[in-house]
Structure 1
Amino acid sequence: MIKVLKPGFYSTIQDAGRFEFQEYGVPYSGAMDTYAASMANMVLGNSENAAVLEMTMTGPTLQFDCETIICLSGADMSPVLNDVPLVNNKAIHVPKNAVLSFGKLNDGFRGYLSVSGGFKTDKVMGSRSMFKGVTEHCVIAKGDELSIKEHIEVMLKKNASIKKNDKYLHSNSVEVFKGPEFDKLSKNQQQILLTQEFSISKDNNRMAYQLEQPLENNLDAIITSLVLPGTVQLTPSGKLIVLMRDCQTTGGYPRVLQLKESTMNIMAQKFMGNKVCFKLLDTY
């Protein structure tokens, strides 16, 4: 077990996501930064779908009631284990009763903690991903006890080398495809959309990122239609909304762009004031 001494700002259990239930209005959910979550699992030899702890901006304080191995990836939140500084993307032995805590956010916005064998919280609709109204809890809370494997099958004695790429943490170029309603924009509107820098607004979370700069338009609303994580909607007031992992499954705003799956990770590491620009790809 892992006992939550402090939950952090917004910490949730996430895996690869919840599929095959979108027709009932259930979001996909899953890790916002799939690259970082996969890296954390890969280092430990976990399955790609093993549940991890996603931490946002401020990390939690956790006490381990059993020995295990962990890995941290994604944002650099100045992690320490029993006051000893840690580094990301490395397998770390954790003794029983050790305390993991976090400090200053140095890089990125979302960090990931994997444990040997993955977190063993309840599965709902085939996923451990937390989401309000689907799982019992939508975030971890002080006093929670998170289930993990209470033994280590393989102790890591050698230094494993896994190639990692953290450049995306600093990138502001977001690769996109044309959305279904892209061609309804004028040539001038298309040019603005694809050449202007946009700032992340204060309204950003696991459901959607709103951008500050408006794109004036007179597009008509559409019949409520399918949307996906990465869909960029344009409201009548000119607000651009980038849908994220916990987004709704349908919407009525024009869908002007669709983020490439891998560039969802770039957006996931952005926060208020950060800038992004869209780079149009020719083909899917």
Structure 2
Amino acid sequence: MIKVLHTGFFSTIQDWGRTGYRNKGVPVSGVMDRYSAAMANALLENEETDALLEITMTGPVLTFDAPTFIAFTGADLPATLNDNPIEAYHVHKVNTGDTLSFGKFRSGFRCYLAIKGGFLSEKVLGSRSFYRPITAENRIKAGMELPFRTYENFTPKITTIKAASLFEETELDVQPGPEYEILSEKQQKELLGSEFTIAKENNRMAYQLTQNLDAHSVNMLTSATLPGTVQLTPSGKIIILMCDGQTTGGYPRILQLSQRAISILSQKKFGDSIAFRLY
């Protein structure tokens, strides 16, 4: 087990999410930045979809009760193992009794801690991803114990990879959404030709943008949405649904982000800039 001594700001167990339940109103959930998460699992030769710890903004303090191997990727969070600094994008051996600590991010916003064999928390509807009320918890808590499989020995084929620059990118690849054509020519030009700023209202459910488009009066039936769906409220507010976002919505769906764009956006924080680019 891994014992959680301190939680950090917001840390959750996530895998690739739960599929096949959106018709019941259950979000996909899963890792926000699939690109970084996949690299962490790849270093440990895990399955791409194995569960990791998604760490947001500031990291936890964890103690291990058995040996294993770890790797972490994504946002630049300083980390120490028994108070000795360790590198991201690198495989590290962890021994019984070792303590892993993370600090506050220096760039990016979400970091992914992978463990050899993946975290083995309970599966609910086919996924280990935290999402209340589907799971008992929505984040790790102090005193919680996180199960994993012991590994005394492991010789990785690759021990380190080049750090990703994903969180330095600002352009989000998008496709027109089902209601894109309701936008005026002026709104379309502003949407695809302007720089937008991440608002304070951003989390695993949705990201809001500071700048608005013109208000509209389009009424529509509640329709299906996906992670990466860009909605436009009647007041002109732009909302981008993320992994824990609702499965339906009544606002026009003006754009749809690519999976890579979702990963890029997930590494943005309040005040960061983004732009949309049709592909």
Q: TM-score, normalised by structure 2?
A: 0.97
* CA displacement 1:229-276 (0-9 Å, x = unmatched): 000000001100000000000000000000011111100000000010
* CA displacement 1:184-243 (0-9 Å, x = unmatched): 111111000001111100000000000000111324131000000000000001100000
2:193 to 192, 195, 213: 195
Query: Which residues in structure 2 correspond to 1:240-259 (within 5 Å)?
Result: 240-259=238-257
Amino acid at match of 1:224: T
State the secondary structure of the residue aligned to 2:149: coil
Q: Quote the residue 1:156 is aligned against.
A: 155
Q: Quote the residue 1:180 is aligned against.
A: 178
Q: Is the 8 A contact 2:69 2:151 kept in 1?
A: no
Runs of 4+ in 1 over 3 A off after TM superposition: 157-162
Q: TM-score, normalised by structure 1?
A: 0.96
Aligned identity (percent) is 49
Q: Quote the residue 2:129 is aligned against.
A: 129
Structure 1 residue 146, shift from structure 2 partner: 0.3
Residues 250/97 of structure 1: CA separation in 2 closer, same or farther (3 Å cut): same
Q: Quote the residue 1:117 is aligned against.
A: 117
Query: Which residues in structure 2 correspond to 1:50-89 (within 5 Å)?
Result: 50-89=50-89
Gaps of 5+ in 2: none
Residues 103/160 of structure 1: CA separation in 2 closer, same or farther (3 Å cut): closer
Structure 1 residue 76, shift from structure 2 partner: 1.1
- Rounded Cα–Cα distance in structure 1 between residues aligned with 2:278 and 2:156: 46
State the secondary structure of the residue aligned to 2:178: coil
Amino acid at match of 1:130: F
Structure 1 residue 159, shift from structure 2 partner: 5.1
Does residue 209 of structure 1 match 2:207? yes
* CA displacement 1:16-56 (0-9 Å, x = unmatched): 01000000000000000001111110000001111000000
State the secondary structure of the residue aligned to 2:207: strand
Q: Quote the residue 1:146 is aligned against.
A: 146
Q: Is the 8 A contact 1:56 1:111 kept in 2?
A: yes
State the secondary structure of the residue aligned to 1:18: coil
Residues 159/182 of structure 1: CA separation in 2 closer, same or farther (3 Å cut): closer
Q: Is the 8 A contact 1:184 1:219 kept in 2?
A: no
Gaps of 5+ in 1: none
**RMSD over aligned Cα, in angstroms?**
1.2
Q: Quote the residue 1:265 is aligned against.
A: 263
Amino acid at match of 2:175: F
Structure 1 residue 83, shift from structure 2 partner: 1.0
Structure 1 residue 87, shift from structure 2 partner: 1.2
Amino acid at match of 2:220: I
- Rounded Cα–Cα distance in structure 2 between residues aligned with 1:227 and 1:105: 31
Moved more, 210-219 or 19-28: 210-219
